[in-house]
Structure 1
Amino acid sequence: MSDFRLKAFISVAKNLSFTKASKELYISQPAITRHIQELEAKYHIALFERMGNKIKLTRAGEILLEHSERIVEDYKRLEYDLHLLTNTYAGELRIGASTTIAQYVLPAVLAKFVDKFPDVKISLLNSNSRQIESALGEHRIDLGMVEGIQHTPNIKYTVFMQDELVAVVSNRSKLSRRDEISLCELPHIPLVLREQGSGTLDVLEAALLPYSIKLSYLNVQMFLGSTESIKRYLEHSDCMGIVSFRAIQQEVLEGKLKIIDFKECRIERNFSFIQQYGQDTGLAAAFIQFAMHYNKEI
């Protein structure tokens, strides 16, 4: 329903590239250029300053971007409110989720949601928690789902479910003879952990702080970008990983991996939805309500 020229302009403004905008919106680059030219002709002002192969927003472009984002968001709210009258939902919902949530939590919720609301088109960005927060701030997604610690003051966090980080090793590892370890032993154990910026690493760092253990004290053999990579690595090494319990249940049942308890504590965290303050209506709100209801049933 909204003016597609505004969507094209927002995409070019965010990417500072006509080529990237055409790929993002699945239309040709000449079509993107035409939409921008039509806006510039309508307002009789240049929106971008061309510098060889690069572009940047003019002051007029910055003003139009600020208003365009609000207009597109208002159209989304309008569509949502109108669909409420017939108890149906339609439109586009861009979700961003941290790796653990995207792989082990979200697929079942998405399948149920799409089955119930087939007219909703969903896209999913999968990255670590800090990158998802950045994507929300840059309006590349409408709704985020992240792990652990709240980072950004201008983002609203809504807890979705709880999770636990556990120490895990291969059943063929020498470490598998242990049933529990002390946190003070961690600096002497070879570890494979998630990468910087991941919610998992942030939560682990916070959990170790009361025991005066810094990440720099740990014997980290490798940082990996996904829990799946950590699990596969553990199967062929004597290292220990610290990952979400939800991610390794199947391997534990199959006897491939073993959980070793921490003596001092349980390392717990939250999975949370994130939104911009004031953006609590529309399809994002409908999805949150659905996911919360679904979570209570499982």
Structure 2
Amino acid sequence: MDQHLQVFVTVVEKQNFSRAAEELHMTQPAVSQYIRTLESNIGTRLLERSNKYVRLNKVGEIVYHHAKEILGLYTKMQTLVDDVTNVASGPISIGASYTFGEYVLPHIIANLQETYPDIQPTVTIGNTTEIASLVDTHQLDVGIVEGHSKDQKLMVEAFADDQMVVVAAPISVLSNEQGFINIDALAEQTWIVREKGSGTREATEKMFGQLGIRPAKLMSFGSTQPIKESVEAGLGISLMSKWAIQKELKNGDLCTLKVTGLPFTRQFSIVTKSPFQTKALEVFIALLRNNKPLTTLEDMKKPQ
């Protein structure tokens, strides 16, 4: 059954029988036969197809969602069995929220590959909600998220602190203030924030509540880089992780503002679904824990 599900998922994701056959190194008639057999076993059609398109019907959407989860579990089971007699090797699917995934994770993976070259990591970057959801449905082996996942079915382990500061462009009038910035002055600024579901957005709203800030205007972006560019261009100010702005601070492209109660500290957390872990996953999580004391990218690049 797993082969039928794999063929079905590939057809759905390629949206074409011919492209799916090429991806699977099969003939198109063989792919069609797998789909017909799966539909026969399920008891109804799963795909609407014509000469121009292949797309899911309502039942197909249900089967596709669960097929992804089943295939993820099957792969994890096979890897766990292989691990009983083998050293740490094989695939590991890692998810990370933007701050950690873009600015910290690449250095950890470089260390991982140097010590365990047979481990094959793949990385998915998304916001905290998205990563937690993919871990929950077994599409990712592990997630590293900002803040705390609210999914009670996941195992969550806080493993590192992340300091967050308010940043502005050097040309901003607030950057020239010598003392602490008045809360009213902060409220008058345009705040450039992440989208809902992001750990950084959650931290920003928590900071607003703690400091009593009611922003006059919010501007939202779906990732960290355009926020940095927007702040640098003088469009507004933002609460950002120190991990994400080290280069900009060093180059003088951004500066931090003195705000009472900051830096704001949040936590990076490891989220997993299953208590059973492959050796590759165990090695990766151990590496995350061992890197807990690191505070700068320069530290991360030093030999461990």
TM-score by length of 1: 0.80
1:1-298 alignment to 2 at 5 Å?
Answer: 5=3, 8=6, 11-12=9-10, 16-17=12-13, 19=15, 27-28=23-24, 34=30, 37-38=33-34, 45-46=41-42, 49-52=46-49, 53-55=54-56, 56-57=59-60, 68-83=71-86, 88-178=87-177, 179-213=179-213, 217-237=214-234, 239-296=236-293, 298=299
1:63-90 deviation per Cα after TM superposition (whole angstroms, max 9, x unaligned): 877765443321121122322xxxx322
CA change 1:40–1:273 in 2 (3 A) is farther
Q: 2:164 aligns to what SS in structure 1? A: strand
Deviation at 1:202, TM superposition (A): 0.6
Distance 1:58 1:130 in 2: 21
CA change 1:68–1:125 in 2 (3 A) is closer
CA change 1:257–1:41 in 2 (3 A) is closer
> Does the aligned pair in 1 maintain the 2:192–2:238 contact within 8 Å?
yes
Distance 1:206 1:21 in 2: 49
Distance 2:289 2:17 in 1: 34
> Does the aligned pair in 1 maintain the 2:148–2:269 contact within 8 Å?
no
CA change 1:281–1:122 in 2 (3 A) is closer
- Unaligned 5+ runs, structure 1: none
> Does the aligned pair in 1 maintain the 2:89–2:279 contact within 8 Å?
no
Q: Which amino acid in the other structure matches residue 274 of structure 1?
A: V
> Does the aligned pair in 1 maintain the 2:68–2:139 contact within 8 Å?
no
CA change 1:68–1:182 in 2 (3 A) is same
Q: 2:15 aligns to what SS in structure 1? A: helix
* Between 287-296 and 20-29, the greater mean CA deviation after superposition: 20-29
CA change 1:33–1:69 in 2 (3 A) is farther
CA change 1:229–1:18 in 2 (3 A) is closer
Higher strand fraction: Structure 1 or Structure 2?
1
Q: 2:99 aligns to what SS in structure 1? A: helix
Deviation at 1:187, TM superposition (A): 2.1
> Does the aligned pair in 1 maintain the 2:146–2:199 contact within 8 Å?
yes
CA change 1:219–1:65 in 2 (3 A) is closer
Distance 2:158 2:21 in 1: 32
> Does the aligned pair in 2 maintain the 1:22–1:28 contact within 8 Å?
no
> Does the aligned pair in 2 maintain the 1:95–1:122 contact within 8 Å?
yes
Q: Which amino acid in the other structure matches residue 196 of structure 2?
A: Q
- Unaligned 5+ runs, structure 2: 300-304
CA change 1:97–1:65 in 2 (3 A) is closer
> Does the aligned pair in 1 maintain the 2:9–2:68 contact within 8 Å?
no
Distance 2:120 2:63 in 1: 32
Distance 1:223 1:63 in 2: 33
Distance 1:201 1:287 in 2: 27
Distance 2:290 2:241 in 1: 23
* Between 151-160 and 16-25, the greater mean CA deviation after superposition: 16-25
1:251-286 deviation per Cα after TM superposition (whole angstroms, max 9, x unaligned): 222222211122134311111111114344442222
Deviation at 1:183, TM superposition (A): 4.2
Deviation at 1:17, TM superposition (A): 4.5
Q: 1:94 aligns to what SS in structure 2? A: strand
Q: Which amino acid in the other structure matches residue 41 of structure 2?
A: I
Q: 1:261 aligns to what SS in structure 2? A: coil
CA change 1:34–1:118 in 2 (3 A) is farther
Distance 1:188 1:65 in 2: 47
* Between 99-108 and 45-54, the greater mean CA deviation after superposition: 45-54
> Does the aligned pair in 1 maintain the 2:193–2:239 contact within 8 Å?
yes
* Between 175-184 and 134-143, the greater mean CA deviation after superposition: 175-184
1:6-30 deviation per Cα after TM superposition (whole angstroms, max 9, x unaligned): 6715835xx9555389989981485
> Does the aligned pair in 2 maintain the 1:193–1:223 contact within 8 Å?
yes
Q: Which amino acid in the other structure matches residue 288 of structure 1?
A: I
Distance 1:112 1:62 in 2: 34
TM-score by length of 2: 0.78
